């Protein structure tokens, strides 16, 4: 079997290559390509490989642009550091994806799926609606600021100035880097959809923390984690047991 790797991060590309060869040392890696431009040139000048591993975000754009500039009939396994919910569209038409950091078992399952699927390369196409749906998730506009009424004044709080969001009884509050607390009208559930998931993570029912505010992470009982964040070092902010794995992945994005 022949494979092509399209990945702009050298370390990630080498790791993926090693995992593929660990799966089966007989697989031939035809090359490692780092950009949309070079990928288009490669497909225009080479026979199609049996399988392509393709990172979504490359140095010069999204890898979906490759499909707009050349014909690809080879099945693709996408790789990405984005959370799973943004990629539900890939779970159709035998397109698969791997979340970074790539797990060897996930890689094995993806290749096994490819090997056990009756692909007809001459007829294999990627429906445009799949890319439309995924591109929409990548270009989603997240909330950038909060407009808050304080007495007779209106305060504008950019999300970059927020350390965390937290709930107390039936209220939701944000805390700023300047250690000011403001009551807001959104629930934590609503904020999960409104805020950029690369910037904020819901660690438990009570807290959503900003990546930039995390000062320390300490092992806690029951395989949980305790966070120390800006302005909240004395408070116990615990990453719930069911969220620890996703939180670790989020830290590596």
pTM: 0.52
**Cα–Cα–Cα angle for 31, 35, 37, rounded to 5 degrees:** 105
Pick the CATH number of 145-252 from 3.40.50.300, 3.40.50.2300, 2.102.10.10, 2.40.50.1020: 2.40.50.1020
Element (H, E) at 193: helix 188-194
Mean pLDDT, the chain, rounded, equals 84
Question: What are the backbone angles phi and psi of residue 125, rounded to the nearest 5°?
Answer: -135, 155
Instruction: Kindly report, residue by residue over 162-185, the tens digit of the pLDDT.
Output: 999 999 988 999 999 999 999 999
Instruction: Provide CATH code, domain 2-138.
Output: 3.40.50.2300
d(CA 3, CA 14): 14
Per-residue pLDDT tens digits for 97-137: 787 888 899 999 989 888 887 654 444 455 555 555 555 55
Domain boundaries, the chain: 2-138, 145-252
Extract the residue ranges of the chain whose pLDDT is less than 50: 84-86, 88-89, 91-94, 120-124
């Amino acid at each position: 079997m022949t494979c092509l790797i399209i990945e702009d991060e050298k370390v990630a590309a080498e790791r993926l290559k090693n995992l593929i060869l660990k799966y089966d040392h007989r697989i031939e890696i035809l090359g490692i390509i780092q950009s949309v431009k070079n990928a288009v040139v490669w497909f225009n000048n080479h026979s199609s490989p049996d399988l392509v591993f393709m990172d979504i975000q490359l140095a010069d754009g999204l890898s979906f642009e490759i499909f707009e500039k050349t014909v690809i009939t080879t099945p693709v396994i996408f790789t990405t550091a984005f959370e799973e919910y943004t990629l539900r569209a890939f779970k159709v038409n035998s397109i698969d994806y791997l979340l970074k950091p790539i797990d060897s078992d996930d890689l094995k399952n993806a290749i096994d799926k490819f090997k056990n699927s009756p692909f007809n390369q001459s007829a294999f196409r990627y429906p445009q609606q799949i890319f439309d749906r995924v591109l929409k998730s990548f270009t989603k506009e997240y909330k950038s600021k909060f407009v808050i009424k304080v007495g007779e004044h209106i305060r504008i709080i950019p999300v970059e100035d927020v350390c965390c969001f937290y709930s107390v009884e039936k209220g939701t509050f944000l805390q700023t880097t300047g250690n000011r607390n403001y009551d807001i009208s959104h629930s934590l559930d609503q904020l999960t959809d409104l805020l950029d998931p690369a910037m904020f993570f819901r660690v438990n029912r009570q807290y959503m923390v900003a990546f930039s505010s995390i000062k320390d992470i300490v092992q806690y009982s029951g395989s949980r984690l305790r966070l120390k964040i800006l302005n909240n070092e004395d408070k116990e902010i615990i990453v719930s047991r069911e969220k620890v794995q996703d939180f670790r992945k989020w830290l590596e994005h």
